[in-house]
Amino acid sequence: MISVLAQERLLGFALGSAFAGVVVFEQRKSLYQSISENYPPATQSPVSMRKPVLAKKYGPEFSHLWNRAVDQTFGPVIQALSSRGW
């Protein structure tokens, strides 16, 4: 059976965690609210947004080369982890 001291510590931990959670939630809420007041959402559609410089210059060729390089670099690591059941 749990002693009274352990119960008090557990209750203190639970109440402290709940209080900290509420404080963090309220701080984040006020932060996001202040950001949304100072910076309204963009009115541009996603199609009209600027593309990255490399995507403009090289298009799908660059992304294909990037994906191949990542596969070659991390392929052995992924195979080793897969063989161990991760």
pLDDT in tens, 66-76: 888 988 998 88
Q: How confident is the model at residue 83 (pLDDT cuts 50, 70, 90)?
A: confident
Q: Is-contact 14 6, C-beta < 8 A?
A: no
Q: For residue 4, give both structure tokens.
A: 């009274």
pLDDT in tens, 22-45: 999 999 999 988 888 877 766 655
Query: What pTM value is reported for the model?
Result: 0.41
- For the chain, the C-alpha Rg in angstroms (whole number) is 25
pLDDT over 90, % of the chain: 28
Cα 15 from chain centroid?
27
Task: Judge whether residue 15 has pLDDT over 80.
Answer: yes
Rounded Cα distance, 80 and 34, in Å? 47
* Residues 76, 79, 83: CA angle, nearest 5 degrees: 140
